[in-house]
Amino acid sequence: MAIQKGPFKFSGKFGDTIGFHDGKVHRVKKHGKVDIEVRQNAPQYEETRKNEEEFGVATRCGQLFRQAMMQITQRWTYKNYKPNVMKAILHTL
84 and 60 both lie in a single domain:
yes
Q: Is 67 found in the same domain as 51?
A: yes
Give me the domain span that covers residue 87: 45-92
Reported as a single tens digit per residue, the pLDDT across 21-74 is 777 777 778 877 778 888 888 899 899 999 999 889 888 888 887 777 777 776
Same domain, 49 and 80: yes
Q: pTM for the complete prediction?
A: 0.49
pLDDT grade, residue 91 (50/70/90)? confident
> Has residue 49 been placed in a domain?
yes
Domain membership of residue 77 (yes or no) is: yes
Residue 18 to residue 4: CA distance in whole angstroms: 11
Q: How far, in Å, CA of 93 to CA of 87, rounded?
A: 10
pLDDT in the model for residue 68: 78
Does residue 1 fall inside a structural domain?
Answer: no
Residues 26-62: b if buried by 16+ CB within 10 A, e if exposed: bbbeeeeeeeeeeeeeeeeeeeeeeeeeeeeebeebb
Residues 65 and 87 occupy one common structural domain: yes
How many domains are there within the chain? 2
pLDDT at 9: 72
Q: Do residue 32 and residue 51 come from a single domain? A: no
Is position 13 within any domain?
Answer: yes
Altogether, the residues listed in the chain come to a count of 93
* Residue 55 and residue 31 in one domain: no
In the β-sheet with 26-30, what is the strand arrangement from edge to edge?
Answer: 2-3, 26-30, 17-21, 12-14
Residues 26 and 49 in one domain: no
- Which stretch of DSSP H or E encloses residue 12? strand 12-14
